[in-house]
């Protein structure tokens, strides 16, 4: 239990997947214009991550890892070179489901997210969580907590970013820094403040 708690805090705050590993930047930078949309995208990413990371764990440990196919009497097969392709396939399938649900129940959010909703498929944070989970040799429940925590960390970052950008809407930014320039600077400053937690060992 303590272990799970530490993984949760680690993934949500200390090793925030966005502000410590800088994964999933593209949609973070483009969608963080207002609280409602970014909260929607953040929840969608959290949802997808919470589901796909454990599913990918199952895929990896029962299909791909060296010796994983022992249950099919193929103990010598090593399919781990397929993990990128299969992980993405799982994520894409999940995103399809989420997209249909949002389209059905919240048209406003669907329009607000626009192309970034299908693009969650290639959100590096989600693939990153799946790959990190393999690297760090988490077991199933650790992976589930890790996926959820990383998603929440991403949500926290994009929500904070969107409110900061709202506060900055009257800012007088030099012409050369309009748009992405100032967003990158804000992200950097936010990452500096998030260093608050770096160094905590649980």
Q: Interface with other proteins by CB under 8 A: which residues? A: 35, 159-160, 163-164, 166-168, 170-174, 177, 182, 185-186, 189-190, 192-201
Shortest reach from residue 180's CB to other proteins, in Å? 13
Residue spans of alpha helices (H) in the chain? 2-9, 25-31, 35-59, 83-105, 107-113, 124-135, 140-167, 180-194
Give least dist CB 140 to other proteins, A: 28
Instruction: For the CB of residue 29, give the shortest distance to other proteins in the complex, in Å.
Output: 16
Q: Which CB sits closer to other proteins, 122 or 182? A: 182
Q: The tokens of 78 are what?
A: 């090593």
Q: Among residues 14 and 51, whose Cβ is nearest to other proteins?
A: 14
Q: Say if residues 157 and 46 touch (Cβ distance below 8 Å).
A: no
Which of 51/156 has CB closer to other proteins? 156
Q: Are 11 and 155 in contact (CB under 8 A)?
A: no
Spatial distance between the Cα atoms of 181 and 46, rounded to a whole number of angstroms: 27
Q: 21 or 197: whose CB is closer to other proteins?
A: 197
Assess contact for 202 and 173: CB atoms under 8 A: no
Nearest distance from residue 102's CB to other proteins, in Å? Answer: 22
């Amino acid at each position: 239990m303590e272990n799970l708690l530490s993984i949760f805090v680690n993934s949500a705050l200390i090793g925030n997947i966005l502000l410590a590993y800088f994964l999933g930047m593209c949609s973070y930078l483009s969608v963080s214009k207002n609280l409602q949309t970014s909260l929607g995208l953040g929840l969608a990413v959290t949802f997808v991550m919470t589901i796909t990371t454990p599913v990918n764990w199952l895929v990896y440990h029962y299909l791909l890892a060296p010796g994983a196919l022992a249950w099919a009497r193929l103990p010598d097969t090593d399919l781990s070179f397929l993990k990128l392709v299969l992980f993405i396939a799982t994520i894409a399938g999940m995103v399809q489901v989420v997209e249909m649900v949002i389209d059905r129940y919240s048209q406003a959010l669907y329009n607000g997210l626009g192309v970034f909703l299908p693009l969650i498929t290639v959100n590096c944070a989600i693939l990153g969580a799946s790959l990190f989970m393999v690297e760090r040799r988490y077991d199933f429940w650790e992976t589930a907590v890790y996926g959820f925590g990383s998603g929440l960390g991403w949500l926290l970052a994009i929500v904070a970013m969107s409110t900061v950008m709202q506060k900055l809407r009257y800012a007088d930014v030099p012409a050369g820094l309009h748009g992405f320039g100032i967003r990158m600077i804000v992200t950097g400053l936010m990452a500096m403040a998030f260093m608050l937690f770096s160094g905590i060992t649980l």
